[in-house]
Structure 1
């Protein structure tokens, strides 16, 4: 009797492969297929390569700039730029710049006395004329007007005179002329921002007609003037006088230094001052105590007198200022 044939699948054949005998070397396994590498932009190699490329590009650009370089600026280029600026813009004058620099430090100084004292002073200065044909000199300034004086009570304080001062220390220390505040019962100063404050005399220098005031109240942003030595000051140098002539101001007038080391004697002949600066910038009663400044806005003197060959008491072209070195010593400041 024939035996039927037996069949098996290939899987079964693989599964039924005979095991290798013990101790026999293992058969080599087939190698796994190679996996292709992916590009990783965050890998260190890529980052270093990018940095190297950027460094090479920077070096190349620097070499090009050094090789060709910017064009050198010539004097002709500078002249053209200056000329264009002058043609297209209006520049402030030297006097305007000097005024802007000194203006915050200039103050108006007004002295007050009681009416009874002022009447006595006026009677001594201007006695009653013996003849009606004799003309009585007209007093200067609003404080001496007859109507204002007549309406005031004997104990009322009336304006004696108006002058100018300049702040030299930002704590409210002010320089002015002694004749502006001499004999006053009350002194008031008005700062550039309009603040009005009482002031007291803290020092005097009679030989130079100087007084030092201390304001009892000052602005928060008070600016003191800059003082400059007169050692290099020369005749012909431009200067400017700032003050309150006849109470009007602040007013500015420009001129030049006319001379140095001048002497001046007051019209009454009571006092002679020396080592004065002579200048021709217009000054009138009320300018007394104001600053004489350079075109840099720096104070070189304190206006103190004008030459008055006539009783008119008006400016004729010759004014005098105390050098700032003398004025600084009056306030206890060290000399330059």
Structure 2
């Protein structure tokens, strides 16, 4: 038996003719009295409506109840247009000012360091310990930074002859660093930002600018290469940051400004003189060598290569030097500009 509809979209009379209602009896079977009663009933019955009347079913009622409940739970209420608040520029300015007063925003140097950090690596040269005055100062500094006695000897086995910094310039594991960091090393080890350690080999040199190009034998899956930026529009006073591993501590961040351009520097031993250097005052110490000097967009402007200190202490007194990235990238055979 067909299930009756919950509500009808058509008048009742046609439904009865189609058999939805009760079955009509033929007129011939009606007796005179019944025929007369039927005629009276038909005369007294109201006329059929000209348009269909819809019945409101129980399912529709439930649906409406659920809809109203959902709107109430979501906090949606109808507000007449005349009561709605229109935002003004004064409201917007007040909200922005309140956010600036209550929110703690990162500094420009912090944002720059966050951008460049995935491309910065620690470079460790392994082999016979160097006996130069500079090497002794670096060893003393590394020991103090690691909580060891100043003259403590390294454990037997591979000896750290120097610690420096490098920056990835090609995502296949090509790294720029200083030549003096890796010169004479029997083995070079690099540690990426995610902690992956790998051996590296020298694939390019530019001795006149104290630069070396390394290739790591394995790399992280998501290695990021740094973005390099021309120094053509660089000016004294521009903000810069240095990221590296001073005395093996890091990655460490320091910030300052460009102090000058086209500077010259002679190594303490007097063996080499470099020119066309960027002078900066962001703190740098042994271990920062080979690391990136970046602008506030985290773009590499140069490679940190030296600090000036008239004494033999080899510590920072406010004057550092970096090789412009134009020269540094050419060491890898890929001038970027």
* TM-score > 0.5, shorter chain as reference: yes
Matched residue, 2:176: 175
Q: 2:294: which partner in 1?
A: 293
Counterpart residue number, 2:116: 102
Check the 8 A contact 2:120/2:291 in 1, yes or no: yes
CA RMSD of aligned residues (A): 2.8
8 Å CA contact 1:175–1:212 kept in 2: the answer is: yes
Equivalent pair of 1:141/1:247 in contact (CA under 8 Å)? no
Q: Which residue does 1:309 correspond to in 2?
A: 310
C-alpha spacing 1:331/1:317, structure 2 compared with 1 (3 Å): same
Map of 1:160 onto structure 2 = 161
Once the two structures are TM-superposed, the CA of residue 238 in structure 1 deviates from its matched residue by 0.7
The correspondence for 2:153, drawn from 144, 148, 152, is: 148
Deviation per CA, 1:15-69: give whole Å up to 9, x if none: xxxxxxxxxxxxxxxxxxxxx897589xxxxxxxxxxxxxxxxxxxxxxxxxxxx
In the alignment, the residues of structure 1 paired with residue 88 and residue 300 of structure 2 have an alpha-carbon distance, to the nearest angstrom, of 39
Whether the 8 Å contact between 2:283 and 2:318 is mirrored in structure 1 is: yes
Alpha-carbon distance, 1:72 to partner? 9.2
Q: Secondary structure at the match of 2:181?
A: helix
1:85 is matched with which residue?
99
The equivalent of 2:280 in structure 1 is 279
Quote how far apart the aligned CAs of 1:329 are: 0.8
1:179-258 matches, cutoff 5 A: 179-258=180-259
Cα contact 2:137–2:313 (8 A) shared by 1: no
Q: Give the CA deviation at 1:159.
A: 1.1
Structure 2: runs of 5+ lacking an equivalent: 1-47, 54-84, 144-149
- 1:291–1:299 Cα contact (<8 Å) kept: yes
The alpha carbon displacement at 1:193 in A equals 0.6
Give distance in 2, aligned partners of 1:219 and 1:277.
31
* CA distance, structure 1, for counterparts of residue 88 and residue 321 of structure 2: 48
Deviations 1:282-307 (A, max 9, x none): 00000000000111111101000000
Q: TM-score, normalization: structure 2?
A: 0.69
Distance 2:136 2:118 in 1: 34
Aligned to 1:8: none
Distance apart, 1:87 and its partner CA = 2.2
User: CA 1:85/1:146 → structure 2, altered by over 3 Å: closer, same or farther?
Assistant: closer
In 2, distance between residues paired with 1:294 and 1:320?
15
How far apart in 2 are the matches of 1:292 and 1:79?
37
In the alignment, the residues of structure 2 paired with residue 264 and residue 166 of structure 1 have an alpha-carbon distance, to the nearest angstrom, of 22
CA drift at 1:192: 0.6
Which runs of 5 or more structure 1 residues have no equivalent in the other structure? 1-35, 42-69, 127-136
Say if 1:162 and 1:180, in contact at 8 Å, map to a contact too: yes
Distance in 2 (alpha carbons) for counterparts of 1:334 and 1:71: 56
- Say which SS state the counterpart of residue 231 (structure 2) adopts: coil
Tell me the TM-score normalised to structure 1 length. 0.69
Residue 67 of structure 2 corresponds to none
